[in-house]
Amino acid sequence: MALLAAREALSFPAGDNATDTLINNVHLNLTTLKHWNYTLYSNGSLSNTSWCLLTFDSYAPARLLPNGTFINATWCWSPTEPIGIRGGIGIGYAVLFGVALVMSLVCLNKHGSLHLPVEKRFYRIGRRWQWYWALFVSATAIISLLVAVDVDRYFLPELPVILTSFFWYLMQWGAMALVWEAVRHWGSWMERQFIDPDPFTLRDGDRRSRVEFYLPLLFYLFLWLNFFMIVPRNWGAIELQRYPQQTVEQAAPGATDARFKAGAFLLVACWLVTGFSLRHSIKYYCPRNRGIFNRIIGFVRFAPLRFLILLPLAAALVAYQALVSFYFEYSPLRVGGPNYAIFPGGYTPSLLILFTQILFGFLNPNEDLELQRQRRVRNQAINREMGITIKPSWWRRVNGETLDTNGSTRDQLLRNVREIHGNKATGTASAAEVGNPTTDGNRPVEMTPVSPSSISSPGVRSPPLTPYTGRSEQRRQERAQQMVAGILFPESTQQQNPPASANTTAQRRAELMMDGPPPPPYTETSRDRDPRGHTNGARSVGGQSETSTNQPPQQIRSMLDV
């Protein structure tokens, strides 16, 4: 490979003698230069088939050794030129991409946070992918733009033009993936809102689910094919732009070969898959439209404004990559290419895609918080339809409906009775407030009336109603059990302390017999048979009970009587 300058070759200037030449006031051995096949060019470079040195100003070598080694020499592949227009514009774009990088991190933190339990079909990684790709696009764009500064500063093009082109293609690749993930996740978000009220409204295994399964595979197939068509290649031909003929013969054919063209058309396929995914989501998760024109109108109407901006920008990105795969003069791979084509067509679409995504990322709420809001709205609508009014937390405290943990069991039972009946659970109540089912036949079914008189009836010793204030937890539980037993089963207390009057016991026994069902009508029992198996004519008294058959139908007075 000959390292040729941008001008024609010159003859060595004369020196002190026939074996000496004077280059930039530096004496070099002419015999050694010719031995190593060095040539002096009009642009001030001294080169052979392997090396290239600068000979002007302070870059001229100080000495040449007989073995061909230069002392204090500067190679041609050094940033000796000032920053050009392309480098200045690139620094400005790099700053904008840096701002986009920081704001993408903020949006990632906002939309990637979890406020609901993870569901099987909707993982956090699904909503984060679009922001991961935004970070990738910002990083690759910054590298490409900062390296482009040295494209103008290098005396002869070399590694910087390869690096800026390499990362530019990666930026295009990531920007297309960013648009796809934004569209795909919007469809997933629509599905999540669609099935949240009714998880069984969409079937599994239908055409919709199969299409949503295969679309990402198809898109990333085309995207990775684009990657393998462009990235893994020999990039050495791109830097061969040291004079016009070399650019035409080597650089231009290498930058517009069949692999670059195939990669551009693979991006076109990715864009079509993205548009179809958006149409698919609108079809299944938005109102239906009949007719071709109505479907087009419905697509524009129901498509989010964000995608009406992103899809044209992605189309412009793909169109420019297809353009430079055919016309090298507009390509960012060209050294000294037109800035009016490189930056508006090569970097502006990706930058606008990032800022559009970030803008709507700040405007849109977190999906978990939005889902919680929708659930609250649905619950409020259901409560209004059912006539349920949810009172604020301070309502019970104002109306004395707070649960006193230190209160007696009797007070808690009275409060439960009144809540079932519909009255406020105040601290005291009379038997008339609780209701007497024996005298009021129109009352609904409620708990058995409890009053202090029934608990403290003559002959019945009531358990202590004052709460236990000691430190023994076992004693506290025993005291509570005694109070409940005394309220619910006063008969057991009577067995320990016989009542003063037998009428109270008989009245209680008759009351208990009215609660249960009548005994089965047994006609004979085993004790009515003799050893031979014959009956003795005796009949069971329980089967002929006049009290059970003549009583009115059973009326359950409380849940404690069931």
pLDDT at 468: 67
Side chain identity at 221, as an amino acid letter?
L
pLDDT tens for 16-30 read 787 878 887 788 878
Angle between helices 348-363 and 85-112 (to 10 degrees): 30
Is the pLDDT at 424 greater than 70? The verdict is: no
pLDDT tens for 54-101 read 888 778 787 888 887 888 887 887 888 888 899 999 999 999 999 999
pLDDT at 549: 52
To which residue do tokens 């991961």 refer? 132
Q: Say if CB 260 and CB 326 are below 8 A apart.
A: no
pLDDT at 431: 38
Q: What percent of the chain has pLDDT over 90?
A: 30
Mean pLDDT in residue range 523-548: 46
pLDDT tens for 257-296 read 999 999 999 999 999 999 999 998 888 887 777 767 777 7
To which residue do tokens 């400005």 refer? 92
DSSP letters, 392-411, are -THHHHHTT----TTS-HHH
Is the pLDDT at 317 greater than 80? The verdict is: yes
pLDDT at 32: 82
For β-strands 52-54 and 26-29, DSSP reports them as unpaired
Strand blocks (E) in 108-228: none
pLDDT at 495: 52
pLDDT tens for 339-372 read 999 999 999 999 999 999 999 999 999 998 999 9
For β-strands 9-10 and 26-29, DSSP reports them as unpaired
For β-strands 52-54 and 63-64, DSSP reports them as unpaired
The side-by-side arrangement of strands in the sheet containing 45-47 is 9-10, 39-41, 45-47, 52-54
Could you give the CA distance from residue 276 to residue 95 in angstroms, rounded to a whole number? 35
pLDDT at 437: 40
pLDDT tens for 214-268 read 999 999 999 999 999 998 888 888 888 888 888 888 889 989 999 999 999 999 9
pLDDT at 401: 63
pLDDT band at 421 (very low <50, low <70, confident <90, very high): low
What pTM does this model have?
A: 0.68
Is the pLDDT at 416 greater than 80? The verdict is: no
Could you give the CA distance from residue 508 to residue 506 in angstroms, rounded to a whole number? 5
CA dist list (Å): 447 to 516, 520, 561: 16, 27, 8
Taking alpha carbons only, the member of 236, 447, 464, 460 closest to residue 333 is 236
Could you give the CA distance from residue 559 to residue 557 in angstroms, rounded to a whole number? 7
Element (H, E) at 292: helix 292-302
Element (H, E) at 478: helix 473-488
Element (H, E) at 71: strand 70-71
pLDDT at 201: 82
